[in-house]
Amino acid sequence: MATEAATHLDNLREALQTLGLHARLLTQDDRLPRLRVINPKATTLSEIISAAPNHDQWLFMWSWNEPITEVTHLATAAERIRHVLAATSPNAA
């Protein structure tokens, strides 16, 4: 299961990098892999993403255990993460 999660997260890492976000795969022996994503334009904006099986499909999950989307929807997942980590100016409407 850890190998499959790492594969999905590595695919997402590549999609996030094309959007200008930094992402690094985190691995530990006692945990499933996770992906740390950082907005390089506002480094305080970061998120930990996981991949988890849910019935017959795998999902990308937010750190608060809510689904982002299915792992087969890489572009959608990357855009949603980019949106959450987007830096906005204080004057933005």
- Burial grade of 26 (CB within 10 A; 0-12, 13-18, 19 or more): middle
pLDDT, tens digit, for every residue of 32-55? Answer: 899 999 999 988 889 999 999 999
The pLDDT value given to residue 90: 54
Residue with tokens 């991949």: 51
What number is the average pLDDT over the span 56-84? 96
Helix, coil or strand: residue 89:
coil
